[in-house]
Amino acid sequence: MKRLMRWFLLPLIFIGLGIGLTQGYLYVFPPKPAMVVQSASANLARNVGGAGSLAVPTLAQGTIFEVKDGESIQQAVLEAQPGDTVMVFPGTYRETVYIDKNDIVLLGVVQEGNWPTLDGKKELNDAILYSGSDITIDSFKITNYKGNGIMGQAGNNFVIRNNLVIDTGVYGIFPQFGTNGLIEHNILTGIEDAAIYVGMSDNIDVRHNEVFGNVAGIEIENTRHALVENNYVYNNTGGILAFITPGLPIKTTFDVIIRDNFVVNNNHVSFAAEGSIVANVPQGTGILILAADDVIIENNIISGNDSVGIGVTDLSLITDISKDPGSEPNPDRVVILDNIMENNGGNPHGILKDLISVAFQDKGPDIMDTGKGTGKCIADQNRYRTLFVLGADYGLCDRTKYATDGIFTMNLPEMAPTEIAQDVSAADFEHELGKRTYYGVCTGCHTYSVRMIGPSVKSIQALYFDDPAGIASFIEHPVKKRDDFPEMPPQNYLTEQTRMAVAKYMLDVRR
């Protein structure tokens, strides 16, 4: 019995106790499920019927680099290769992250409300700069920068979503010179210019964002094919702007749909920088269309904006900048379909106040127009209080003609190319690459038949006639071969593919 107790029952009791304690602990502190990395397609599929090419970004095909509090996000970005994901865990990161390569996913991991936070402490300029294409930036808290939260320079096919952007200086999210982009599910506040500023871009969706307490909420500027949808835009100086800014190299804004947004109480005192374009936006502006063409405004709730619900005007509103003969100044074909507009214009400000008082009114209108542009219409003009000055002329919109029901996205059906479309075979592509490199680089020192700085191509062909790999490896690590020529500088900055392509091309040059 003693032996039974010692060898059988005691262990059982211990095991039982253990199980009891564990169960008790688990009861009080229930376990969390294993972390699941959210997938892009799962998140996007819900949104709309056809989400365009960005529904399936190239996510996490490659290596995942994990960055933990105290480590450097930039270091991981430098090590990552196209196709890789940099996964950032909660913590405070004080850095400017720049992404000068294609196809990188920067993914924050939010744990129990703790965000990976980029904090510039009002000392750093920008949080994230990218110039590559196919970049995704997801789930970061970004605060206290001086320039931008997220700025893109020419990357195509970008996805910026699920970010908290708080007081990051001039702009919050600012893609520029990009084609095909998605900005969604971000919350932005405290920005002294536009919180979401789409500049000189094409085919952009801005949807499901919350923007408040900024000078401008969402600005579509010198951009074509933009959808601004389902955003909650409140307590900014101006809510949603579609602009042409003169003096920029891309001159037009057209094909913009502003639909299903809440544009509410945008009455924040302006804190724009002196001389900035948005300093011209009167406090209390719901939506402002400035010189942009082919804009459809539909099914928004536009209420409580103290100066005006929707303002439509030409470039003369901005009085303090140089004229640009290349910028067509008038808002043409602005289409205002059915919107809920209520309680706008209660306390007009700035230039709108002047215009309103000139019209012997003391209350701002739902819709105001300063008279320039053609082809504009309103679906049901009788619903709204309007103030049209200087002979503004609105027709009756044909709802079926301008119906946007079938438009789910402005994103392209295919990914925007990051290289000039090469409708050619791989061999032809290699030939083209070799040719551009040969003439763009090599001919600085080599001509076909004459000695220049380096030996003639003819003499190189004689040496390597069937050995392009020999040339490719020589140009990567040149060694001094001929006493009567200077040593060639290494061309290792060319990619391996490029070195091989140019070597092959060089062997084929006949002139």
Partner 1 sequence: MLTFYTKAILAVGLGLVGLSTSVQANDESDFQLNDNCPPGFEWMAGNRCELRSLYQQYPSIQSQGVGGLKTGLPAYRDGFSPQVIDLGRYLFFDPVLSVNGQQSCATCHDPSKGFADGRSLAVGALGVVGKRSAPSLWNVAFQERFFWDGRAASLEEQMTGPLYAPEEMANNPVNLLNTLNAIPAYQRLFSQAFGQQDAISLDQIYHALAAFQTTLVSLNSRYDQYAHGYSQALTAPEIEGLNVFRSFVARCAECHTPPLFTNQQIAVIGTPELDGMPRDIGAEGPTGDPTLRGGFKVPSLRNIKLTAPYMHSGKFESLWDASEFYTLGRGHALGKDEQIYLHWHIWEPQLTDSEIDRLVDFMGTLTDTWFTPAIPTQLPSGLRHIGADDFDQQQKQQ
Binding flag, residue 147, partner 1 (CB under 8 A): yes
Question: Nearer to partner 1 by C-beta: 25 or 493?
Answer: 493
Binding flag, residue 277, partner 1 (CB under 8 A): yes
Residue 186-215 contact track with partner 1, rule CB under 8 A, x = bound: --------------xxx-------------
The region of 259-267, 303-311, 366-374, 441-449 touching partner 1 under the rule CB under 8 A is 441-449
Binding flag, residue 133, partner 1 (CB under 8 A): yes
The Cα-based distances of 23 to 13, 17, 31, 347 in angstroms read 15, 10, 11, 63
Question: Nearer to partner 1 by C-beta: 224 or 349?
Answer: 224
Residue 335-374 contact track with partner 1, rule CB under 8 A, x = bound: ----------------------------------------
Applying the rule CB under 8 A, the residues between 55 and 84 that interact with partner 1 are: 78
**Nearest residue to 231 via CA among 222, 221, 223, 219:** 219
Evaluate the CA torsion angle 145, 147, 153, 159 in order and state its sign: positive
Spatial neighbors of 178 by CB under 8 A, at least 6 apart, are 152, 154, 155, 156, 158, 201, 202, 204
**Nearest residue to 310 via CA among 386, 207, 245, 379:** 386
Of these, 148, 265, 305, 370, which contacts partner 1 (CB under 8 A)?
148
Distance CA 487, CA 445 (A): 12
Applying the rule CB under 8 A, the residues between 281 and 320 that interact with partner 1 are: 320
The region of 12-20, 293-301, 377-385, 491-499 touching partner 1 under the rule CB under 8 A is 491-499
Give me the phi and psi of 335, to 5 degrees please: -120, 115
Distance CA 285, CA 264 (A): 10
252: left (phi over 0), alpha (psi -120 to 50) or beta: beta
Structure tokens at 484: 């009567």
Least separation in angstroms between CB 432 and partner 1 = 8
**Total chain residues near partner 1 (CB under 8 A):** 69
Applying the rule CB under 8 A, the residues between 242 and 261 that interact with partner 1 are: 247-250
Least separation in angstroms between CB 414 and partner 1 = 13
**Nearest residue to 376 via CA among 313, 334, 331, 314:** 334
Spatial neighbors of 491 by CB under 8 A, at least 6 apart, are 441, 475, 476, 478, 499
Least separation in angstroms between CB 252 and partner 1 = 8
Q: SS3 sequence, 64-98?
A: EEEECCCCCHHHHHHHCCCCCEEEECCEEECCCEE
Distance CA 145, CA 123 (A): 7
Please, are residues 503 and 494 in contact by the beta-carbon 8 Å criterion? no
Question: Nearer to partner 1 by C-beta: 108 or 172?
Answer: 172
Q: How many CA atoms lie within 13 A of 94 on its CB side?
A: 6
Applying the rule CB under 8 A, the residues between 315 and 334 that interact with partner 1 are: 320-325
The region of 42-50, 127-135, 369-377, 456-464 touching partner 1 under the rule CB under 8 A is 127-135
Applying the rule CB under 8 A, the residues between 158 and 187 that interact with partner 1 are: 169-171, 174, 177-179
The region of 31-39, 57-65, 141-149, 394-402 touching partner 1 under the rule CB under 8 A is 141-149
Binding flag, residue 490, partner 1 (CB under 8 A): no
Question: Nearer to partner 1 by C-beta: 96 or 361?
Answer: 96
Least separation in angstroms between CB 291 and partner 1 = 15
Longest dimension (CA), the chain: 108
Judged by the rule CB under 8 A, the positions of this chain that interact with partner 1 are: 78, 96, 98, 100-101, 125-126, 129, 131-133, 146-148, 151-155, 169-171, 174, 177-179, 200-202, 247-250, 273-277, 320-325, 416-420, 433, 435-441, 443-445, 447-448, 450, 492-495, 498, 511
